[in-house]
Chain A
């Protein structure tokens, strides 16, 4: 008892603070910051839709190549508050463009990853539980598909079919992001099947469904989240890649397509930095947010990392 009465060191204080928060690993700063950044982009889309005139995304709705407020373009035109982030080479308002475009990218990423994850959960559990021939087929198929870069197959697809909708693009990308969750869950299920608590549940007569979802699933949650976020990143990277190649949805403004148009119009040489820079910045914020979430989730699932920070 005598030792605890001494003034606590800093490490002890920190530990005490942690205990007070029940040491909830889900409340680590990386995770919070990451979620905040993504929410920021989402809010930009939601609030922007209410406050800003979205008709300004149509071509020719403003003077061409106006700079953001406070800057001057090569023709000595100054930015005006009517178009606070400037306009692109065909007179579209950049603010309206990103209000519509930024949530679109996030939407494609989330939808593709969600479908991929659901497929992965079903296939992974099936492979792990059923075993035998079914397991072989699923395992080989996911091994094979994981080495094929989605971008290249999708380039062939979209070059042959022309215009696609956002949802269609998400569905196509989903066809390439189910492999890693499948492999992950299969491996975990195989190792968990041998563990004491699952054996115990089986002995006490629990149904397969109960074992899968009530006994195993809770242990998989941090891994699933991690894999989900990684897949959102892959999906957005693929979608942006397609858009920058001039594929992807042709009639809806997307961040990637804006960059594509900017490069083609020589925005770099003409020093129209806002045209390609604003979508680039937004995408960067999105990816940094996703990375932070992933690092935060790593700390949740791997306590060894937590001690370091």
Chain B
């Protein structure tokens, strides 16, 4: 199990490349099927700003040439694919002339940070609670309380976000309502900024945590049930090991590994959910960028954000698929 079989690697790579290619193509084709002309939108924006635009016809031609939409579709497509591979999505039309990639580079760290923190917390809490649901030594109260908390699993984080926002930000005023850091704080490596970020990030993270831990807990419960019936658990009990030791070193140790693959299938939904949480909290991440772009009809930004998020999802699935057999030696890379 020291290295990955070549066929398997190629198989996964082909899937990854195809995913990214198909997603990029869809994102490119869809706006071109619509009757809306981006050059006209840009012109309309100019007209709205200046009152009236003289020689509109000429400007329209120039804009089309600038956007490259006067060229044959096939040329446009290959230019687009080349640009996408280099993370060049053109210039934002709403924040002209900022490149889309710069906007994304600003927003991405916020999204990744929020995602990583809430993911780690949910993974730990969810798996622990799931394990406790099955363990014989769990106090009775917990055995009733955990399944009850499971009800939240099904709710998308945007709904829990609204509720938490109302209780802790609007009513109690413990946390700020929106934003990723205080308006008076200068971004930088300072203590003030760090506490402000944590303070602002708490509610968005919490609203993701309360609705996603149940997913892990449910999966863990199923896995623990099968581990419970294994001979090695029985043997460990017969040897008279401490129940807590058996729980951590025997049961959870064996049950937690398949949970990691479950993550690969769920990540798309997790990211999409987080985009919406960022939108309602006006958190400075990809979600807010996307929402603002939709409001402004800023297509390059919409395309760029969608593409980057899909790329993130596909890459995570790819990485989980590859490293999984190293984490769990029982699994071999199958050549499908």
Contact = CB atoms under 8 A, between A and B. Distances in A.
B159 A283 contact: yes
Contacts of A197: none
Among B33, B155, B290, max chain A CB count under 10 A is at B155
B66 interface: no
B196 interface: no
B19 A288 contact: no
A147 interface: yes
A290 to B, nearest CB: 6
B153 interface: yes
Among B150, B169, B294, B314, max chain A CB count under 10 A is at B294
A271 B169 CA distance: 11
Interface stretch (A76-84, A116-124, A244-252): A244-252
A59 B225 CA distance: 54
A276 B159 CA distance: 9
A176 to B, nearest CB: 10
Contacts of A160: 30-31, 33-34, 36, 299
B154 A152 contact: no
A160 B276 CA distance: 20
Interface in A275-309: 276-277, 280, 283-284, 287-288, 290-291, 302, 304-305, 308
Contact of B158 (A155, A240, A277): A240
B226 A304 contact: yes
B257 interface: no
Interface in B22-36: 22-23, 26-27, 30-31, 33-34, 36
A282 B326 CA distance: 44
Interface in B305-323: 305-306, 309-310, 313-314, 317
Contacts of A146: 265, 268
Interface residues of A, number: 49
A244 B155 contact: no
B166 interface: yes
Nearest to B171: A271
Contacts of A156: 26-27, 30-31, 302-303, 306
B18 A151 contact: no
A273 interface: yes
A148 interface: yes
Interface in A140-154: 140, 143-153
Contacts of B10: none
Nearest to A256: B158
A284 B33 contact: no
A245 B154 contact: no
A305 B225 contact: yes
Nearest to A302: B222
Among A139, A155, A273, max chain B CB count under 10 A is at A155
A144 B22 contact: yes
A244 B271 contact: no
A96 B302 CA distance: 34
A305 B134 CA distance: 11
B105 interface: no
A269 interface: yes
A234 interface: yes
B291 interface: yes
Contacts of A22: none
A17 to B, nearest CB: 22
Contacts of A237: 156, 269, 272-273
Ranked 8 nearest A-B pairs via Cβ = A291-B154, A287-B154, A160-B34, A149-B268, A152-B306, A151-B272, A160-B31, A149-B272
8 contacts: A151-B275, A153-B27, A155-B290, A156-B303, A159-B297, A241-B158, A283-B156, A291-B150
Given A160-B36, A247-B294, 8 more contacts: A140-B14, A149-B269, A152-B309, A153-B30, A241-B272, A268-B177, A284-B155, A287-B154
